[in-house]
Structure 1
Amino acid sequence: MKKIGFLSFGHWSPSPQSQTRSASDILLQSIDLAVAAEELGADGAYFRVHHFARQLASPFPLLAAVGARTSRIEIGTGVIDMRYENPFYMVEDAGAADLISGGRLQLGISRGSPEQVIDGWRHFGFQPQDGESDAEMGRRHGETFLELLRGRGFAEPNPYPMFPNPPGLLRLEPHSDGLRDRIWWGAASDATAVWAAQRGMNLQSSTLKKDESGEPLHIQQAAQIRGFRDAWREAGHQREPRVSVSRSIFPIVNEADRAYFGRSGQDRDSIGNIDAETRAVFGRTYAAEPPVLVEQLRQDEAIAEADTLLLTIPNQLGVAYCAHVIEAVLKHVAPALGWRP
């Protein structure tokens, strides 16, 4: 059994070919797709976060709205760039969204991805400390966020407050019990996966990874996941961790599928640079008739290692088509692979 959700990059474009032509379109359609996915029996609705782009950005209003419209599905991010975040304010936003959803938040955070602008986090008022890289700053913000989520008091109360205080040092409110265990780290390398395990975070591994061996993505990811789990056990955490991988999977079951993905031309991994220093391996697109697709996916070692699969969906094709893709995976692929009864 595997949890299966969707991951939306949240693109919008004024192009007449796009079903999401404005920020309003993508926000409202994201809520509608989460509702549709829950009705289909999917397990998760996850959203990317990018700044200075025609994509989803500030995640917490959207997560809270999805939480208010749904009752069962997990709601998450993949990922929030912690270089841009004030961990204190983020704890309040995350606590509120988690309480609205009834404890269904699954927050993916990370040091971030290539940006639309140069050092965009500086515009948000952040800069690395002396001798610190921006990636290290993102991890520092992440560690502060994790510590604050524990809900321990740390702030000295005013002796003459406007409202009565509970005894002792004060914590940030609202506090949501259990959210600390539902934080995931988006790791592009083996080393950051181990770092996340040591700090008790779940692991998100995307459709790309730092190329550390020259092997296909799924083999490198599977090794990354095993290293993460080894580090988790060595750290002595008391719960079992969760691991997700993202994949582009399109069962071809009708003519629209064939028109969109029948000749995707992306049936193998590719290599590229995500910044000046980092060579990455980018995962292939899986697009075929269900019997062929099942055999292809059976060979994906990283999917086999993970407990959660996030389907990247073409959100600009609209809610109805994206829901169709999710349903096709749940109906025509997942049972044959033992992911669903």
Structure 2
Amino acid sequence: MPTSTQPLRKLGFLTIGLFDPADPRPGHEATLELIRLGEELGFDSAWVRHRHLQHGISSPVAVLAAASQRTSRIELGTAVIPLAWENPLRLAEDLATVDLLSGGRLNPGVSVGPPMQWERVRPALYPDTGDAEDFGYGRVQRLLDFVRGVPVTDFSGTEGFEVFSDRVQPHAPGLADRLWYGGGSLRSAAWAGEHGMNLLTSSVVKAEAPRAPGADDADGTGAEADFAALQLAQIRAFRAAHPAGDRARVSQGLVVIPTDSATPEQRAKYQAYVDERTPRTKAPQGPGRLLFAPDLIGSSAEIAEQLYAHAAFREIDEVAFALPFSFAPEDYVQILTDIATRLGPALGWRPGL
């Protein structure tokens, strides 16, 4: 078994929270139960994806508000909220409220860019202001300012019987330090660092030719489509720009599927899932040249060996492993249990019970 000079400090997981559109409550309840199980197993964090007009969680802040009342220790994150769908001021109010209710455990992750299916959703989402909306980094900056307590109006005081504040209320001390940016390019990673955010990296990066600056070739990598080298370059660009330097927080979100305690039927299903997704990892996809990381499947010992060989993994000390999209609740229980009891310890992690 390879050894690491730096043990894994924080272990988390990410779920999409699928549900049946004909009966959506059981799916949401299953997500809450998964988060409760994660806390019981000692995970440091649980993260939920964000899906609009799909059969996945469309309101992660509301779901995490419910999760905060069913847990007491585990950190709760969003990976990620697409800010193009949000009003930053209203979102800042919601985030602060849930953070206070959770006892300071909220870790909001956000991203920028036009809404998915923009031309189709524009008439409903921004019927009158679509041409004026800013879907760039300025939207993140507004959210950062509001969470940090920058005034949003030039008035505060009393009118009649009502008292008004010039800042977002409630204010949640410490929340600004737990804001994450979901980046997949050198530009976004550097921007997040310059603005003092934390960085969420996932199983998708932008293939930026010909070579990503900052990535060395010590492992014999360096090809344009080498996922680990590209992600490593982004992590280094982020930390080079961040005031905290090498201490700036980065969380990696690869898909891992340990099979230690899986049944033969589960192993066959898991392998079929991975086999179907593997072709897209061979080359950048689409006009955005997005490169997907291979899913890691096998025993915890085998996955640990692959992670220690991953150039970007060796640069970080916290993860939020992504759960596969379409598995059954009992599959997630098996995978989470194996991650917490076998894979995590193989990476030097100890549960936060």
> TM exceeds 0.5?
yes
Runs of 5+ consecutive residues of structure 1 not aligned to the other structure: 15-20
TM-score by length of 2: 0.83
Alignment-derived partner of residue 100 in structure 2 = 99
Aligned to 2:162: 163
Task: State the match for 2:267 in structure 1.
Answer: 258
Structure 2 unmatched ranges of 5 or more: 1-7, 210-223
Q: Is the 8 A contact 2:85 2:115 kept in 1?
A: no
- Counterpart contact for 1:91–1:145, Cα < 8 Å: yes
CA contact (8 A) 1:23 1:55 kept: no
- TM-score if structure 1 supplies the norm length? 0.86
Q: Distance in 1 between matches of 2:322 and 2:63?
A: 18
Residue 289 of structure 1 aligns to which amino acid in structure 2?
A: S
Post-superposition shift, 1:171? 1.2
| Cα offset, 1:10, TM superposition | 2.3
Tell me which amino acid in the other structure corresponds to 1:174: P
Q: Does 1:7 align with 2:14?
A: yes
Code of the residue aligned with 2:317 in structure 1: it is D
Contact 1:252 1:262 in 2 (8 A): no
- Alpha-carbon contact 1:81-1:112 (below 8 Å) kept: yes
- Number of the residue aligned with 1:177: 173
- Deviation digits for residues 9-68 of structure 1 (CA, Å, limit 9, x no counterpart): 223346xxxxxx743222111111000000001111101112111111122210111111
SS of the equivalent of 1:197 reads helix
Structure 1 residues 144, 161: closer, same or farther in 2, change over 3 A?
farther
Q: Is the 8 A contact 2:84 2:114 kept in 1?
A: no
Specify which of 270, 281, 297 is matched with residue 282 of structure 2: 270
239 and 65 in structure 1: CA distance in 2 versus 1, 3 angstrom threshold: farther
1:286-335 deviation per Cα after TM superposition (whole angstroms, max 9, x unaligned): 11123322222221122222232112113543333212201212222222
SS of the aligned residue for 1:323 comes to helix
C-alpha distance 128-177 of structure 1, shift in aligned 2 (>3 A): farther
What displacement does 1:170 show?
Answer: 2.1
Contact 2:184–2:234 (8 Å) recurs in 1 = no
Cα offset for 1:338?
A: 2.0
**Corresponding position of 1:194:** 190
Distance 1:301 1:62, change over 3 A: same
Which residue of structure 2 aligns with residue 141 of structure 1? 139
**C-alpha distance after superposition, 1:82-137 (max 9, x if no partner):** 111101111110011101110000010001587256363553235353xxxx7x52
Give 1:61's aligned residue. Answer: 62
1:120 counterpart = 2:124: no
Contact 1:84 1:121 (C-alpha < 8 Å) held by counterparts: no
Tell me how far apart the structure 1 counterparts of residues 325 and 37 of structure 2 sit (CA, whole Å): 13
Match of 1:34 in 2: 35
> Deviating runs (4+, > 6 A) in structure 1?
none
Change over 3 Å in CA distance of 1:207–1:332 after alignment to 2: same
2:311 to 294, 297, 301: 301
Letter paired with 1:321: D
Q: Equivalents in 1 of 2:337, 2:345: separation in Å?
A: 12
Letter in 2 for 1:147: D
What amino acid is the match of 2:137? R
1:47 aligns with 48
The structural deviation recorded for 1:209 is: 0.7
Over the aligned positions, Cα root-mean-square deviation in angstroms equals 2.4
The alignment partner of 1:230 has SS state of helix
Q: How does 1:9-24 map to 2 (within 5 A)?
A: 9-13=16-20, 22-24=23-25
Matched, 1:282 2:292: yes
- Verify the 8 A CA contact 2:50 2:81 in the aligned structure 1: yes
Encode CA deviations 1:234-285: one digit per residue, 9 max, x unaligned.
xx359942111111111112324312224532567333435xx311110101
Q: Which residue of 2 aligns with 1:339?
A: 349
Relative to 1, partners in 2 of residues 1:248 and 1:22: Cα closer, same or farther, differing over 3 Å? farther
**Alignment partner, residue 212 of structure 1:** 208
Give the percent of matched residue pairs that are identical in Structure 1 and Structure 2.
Answer: 31
Tell me by how many angstroms 1:158 deviates.
5.8
Aligned residue for 2:218? none
Bigger drift between 31-40 and 212-221 goes to 212-221
